[in-house]
A and B are shown apart, each in its own frame.
Chain A
Amino acid sequence: MIEVRDLAKHYRVHRRQPGLAASLRSLVRREHVTVRAVERVSFTISAGEVVGFLGPNGAGKTTTLKCLTGLLHPTAGAVRVLGHTPHRRESAFLRRISLVMGQRNGLFWDLPAADAFEVNRAVYGIAEGPYRAALDELVDLLGLAELLGRQVRVLSLGERMRCELAGALLHRPDVLFLDEPTLGLDVNGQAAVRAFLRDYNDRHGATVLLTSHYMGDVTALARRVLVVDRGTLRFDGDLAALVEAHSPHRLVRVTLRAPVPAATWAGLGEPVTVDGAVVTLAVPRAETAAVAGRLLATLPVEDVAIEDPPIEEIIRAVFAHA
């Protein structure tokens, strides 16, 4: 479905120091630097997979996504998506993919959503029957009935993103690329988009590659993650395996009937937070069960919960390690 081998993308960009003198110098003598946005990245994604693409700003996530959708010509390496070479931008390829960018408007901005969808229908050559079926389903799943008659430009961010998703899916793409689809949305908006994407993937088996700064997007949708940093791939595998590999500790949160002295925790684990009678301990992964047993046996415990550290911390650990 998606095959990427030794992908590299380098940019040559103009560099100038701040200040008037540097500006004037720059008029005469231009200085350029090469930015290695992506460097020898390889992976494959099978049909129907939902894969999260993680990395800090400037890691190369969006650049990779743009190479996969044909927006950028790779500097080196080979990319195949649905059997096509993306940068050739063949019509047969473009009809089977969609890219939703959280910070961009793919719909006609000045038109009501319904008219903007009609434009997409014409551009993708969708027949009346399939168009109606797809539109009805998307209107239902995304709750768009009230929005169809409103100009896209006056919609709120969350409403606009729901319309963007509908516009991008009218032609039923086999591969959906999502670049920060919940950027700027409030908690409810994020949850609605995540629920929709999960449902859509279940119904249509679309392959989804998702980049997001919100770990909630990734944990809610993707079982597999690709972690990139400074243009190179640092990890490719199950989210659970990433957690196991990069977090030697688990968190044991114990709620006691009454606070106990700090010395109590010696030999059990490292207290991470102490909030009266609620204490969170970092415990070596292999000893978690044994420590929980000792806590229950030796202390006045009301409740014990065992969980992995937040994914954000694990990702930070991955990058720090790299």
Chain B
Amino acid sequence: MRDTLTAYRGLARGGTLVAVTYRGRLVLRVLTGFFPLLMMAVWLTVVAEGGPPAGWTAGDFLAYYAAATLVVNLSGDHVVWQWDADLRSGDLSLRLLRPLHPFHQYAAADLGQRAVTLVALGPALALAAVLSPALDYPVTPARLVAFAAALVLAYALGLLTASTFALLGFWSTQTANVWLLWWGLGSFASGWVAPLELLPPWLRTAALVLPFRSMMGFPVELLTGRLDGAQTAFGFAVGLGWLGVFALLYRFGWRRGVRRHQAVAG
């Protein structure tokens, strides 16, 4: 355990150093980090032209998507791209030779990169909160603790789902496409396209028990004060349940996949 923590520190540091190596990449990372605000712009147009849908005002959408910007950028699912690249190129072999499971190598390096994202986005969001009265979240100590826990859960679930999908690379070269399909379908149920309250009842019911909401909508709804105690507990239960499911799937997929790994290209 101590060795793993030491390795995490070193790899996270490496990830941070890589993230700040190229100025252009850093700028692009920050710019793409604000993509959730594109959805916000769409909804603000809807409000302006047709009035608040289901009682959601422009301020509600501002608060929702500002929080979503933070959550999306702290998601652990970015690791899927590095997994995919390494499986295709054969560089996974190099990771397999290190005395730390590749899952941890990807996670640690990603945490280092998330830290850079947080440093870059944090001040912008803090400034927006000061300037915009709509970003007045009903913060209490208990809610903040619950939000932090939900963020950790969202990160862990994103990391685990992305890593599980990445294992498809042992069998297929289409990991990235399958992941995009999963993410695209999930964007309706996660709260990305629209807050869950605005979805048709059947989709909202499904979204409450699917894994996607735990990775975005749930922490955002918590921070914006839209969940009571029972709803919060239910949200955590669903997230933790999916965490367990994906942990099992990952374990199964890893054992089968690494056996058939053919150490590509030399």
Determine whether B42 belongs to the interface, using a CB cutoff of 8 Å to chain A: no
Determine if B259 and A99 form an interchain contact, defined as CB atoms under 8 angstroms apart.
no
Chain A residues with CB under 8 A of B10: 118-119, 121-123
Determine whether B97 belongs to the interface, using a CB cutoff of 8 Å to chain A: yes
Taken together as a complex, chains A and B put the C-alpha atoms of A111 and B20 apart, in Å, by 10
Taken together as a complex, chains A and B put the C-alpha atoms of A179 and B261 apart, in Å, by 19
Determine if B99 and A123 form an interchain contact, defined as CB atoms under 8 angstroms apart.
yes
Number of interface residues of A (CB under 8 A): 35
Determine if B98 and A108 form an interchain contact, defined as CB atoms under 8 angstroms apart.
no
Segment of A89-97, A196-204, A253-261 engaged in the interface with chain B? A89-97
Determine whether A212 belongs to the interface, using a CB cutoff of 8 Å to chain B: no
Size bin of chain B's contact surface: 20 to 34
Determine whether B6 belongs to the interface, using a CB cutoff of 8 Å to chain A: yes
B11, B97, B262: which has the most chain A beta carbons within 10 Å?
B97
Given A111-B18, A115-B17, A123 and B97 contact (CB-CB distance below 8 Å): no
Chain B residues with CB under 8 A of A119: 10-11, 13-14
A11, A70, A104, A105: which has the most chain B beta carbons within 10 Å?
A104
Contact count A vs B, C-beta below 8 Å: 87
Chain B residues with CB under 8 A of A73: 258-261
Interface residues of B in 9-23 (CB under 8 A from A): 9-11, 13-14, 17-18, 21-22
Taken together as a complex, chains A and B put the C-alpha atoms of A69 and B93 apart, in Å, by 10
Interface residues of B in 90-106 (CB under 8 A from A): 90-91, 93-94, 96-100, 105
Q: How far is the CB of A212 from chain B (nearest CB, A)?
A: 14
Determine if A124 and B99 form an interchain contact, defined as CB atoms under 8 angstroms apart.
yes
Residue of A nearest to B262 (CB): A11
Determine whether B121 belongs to the interface, using a CB cutoff of 8 Å to chain A: no
Taken together as a complex, chains A and B put the C-alpha atoms of A179 and B97 apart, in Å, by 14
Interface residues of A (CB under 8 A from B): 11, 62, 66, 69-73, 89, 91-92, 94-95, 97-99, 101, 103-106, 108, 110-111, 115-116, 118-119, 121-125, 151, 179
**Which among B98, B260, B262 is the interface contact of A94 at CB below 8 angstroms?**
B98
**Which among A11, A69, A123 is the interface contact of B11 at CB below 8 angstroms?**
A123
Interface residues of B in 216-266 (CB under 8 A from A): 258-263, 266
Instruction: List 30 A-B residue pairs with CB atoms under 8 Å apart, sorted by A's residue number.
Output: A70-B96, A71-B96, A71-B97, A71-B261, A72-B261, A72-B262, A73-B260, A73-B261, A91-B100, A92-B99, A94-B97, A94-B99, A97-B97, A101-B266, A104-B93, A104-B94, A105-B94, A115-B14, A118-B13, A119-B10, A119-B14, A121-B10, A122-B11, A123-B7, A123-B10, A123-B98, A124-B99, A125-B99, A151-B21, A179-B266
Determine if A122 and B6 form an interchain contact, defined as CB atoms under 8 angstroms apart.
yes
Main secondary structure of the interface of A (DSSP, over half): mixed
Determine whether B3 belongs to the interface, using a CB cutoff of 8 Å to chain A: yes
Which 4 A/B pairs are nearest by Cβ-Cβ distance?
A122-B10, A94-B99, A119-B14, A91-B99
**Which among A66, A108, A125 is the interface contact of B263 at CB below 8 angstroms?**
A66
Given A62-B266, A71-B261, A72-B261, A111 and B21 contact (CB-CB distance below 8 Å): yes
Given A95-B99, A108-B14, A72 and B6 contact (CB-CB distance below 8 Å): no
Q: Mark B75-96, 1 if CB is under 8 A from A, else 0.
A: 0000000000000001101101
Q: How far is the CB of A183 from chain B (nearest CB, A)?
A: 10
Extra 17 A-B pairs, beta carbons < 8 Å, given A103-B266, A118-B10, A123-B11: A11-B262, A71-B96, A71-B97, A72-B261, A73-B259, A92-B99, A101-B266, A104-B94, A108-B14, A110-B17, A110-B18, A110-B22, A115-B17, A119-B10, A123-B10, A123-B99, A124-B98
Chain B residues with CB under 8 A of A105: 91, 94
Q: How far is the CB of A159 from chain B (nearest CB, A)?
A: 19
Given A71-B261, A101-B266, A115-B14, A125 and B98 contact (CB-CB distance below 8 Å): no
Determine if A122 and B261 form an interchain contact, defined as CB atoms under 8 angstroms apart.
no
Chain B residues with CB under 8 A of A125: 3, 6-7, 99
Taken together as a complex, chains A and B put the C-alpha atoms of A73 and B262 apart, in Å, by 9
Given A66-B263, A104-B91, A108-B14, A122 and B7 contact (CB-CB distance below 8 Å): yes
Chain A residues with CB under 8 A of B14: 108, 111, 115-116, 118-119, 122
Q: How far is the CB of A177 from chain B (nearest CB, A)?
A: 9
Taken together as a complex, chains A and B put the C-alpha atoms of A145 and B208 apart, in Å, by 58
Interface residues of B in 117-147 (CB under 8 A from A): none
**Which among A89, A108, A122 is the interface contact of B96 at CB below 8 angstroms?**
A89
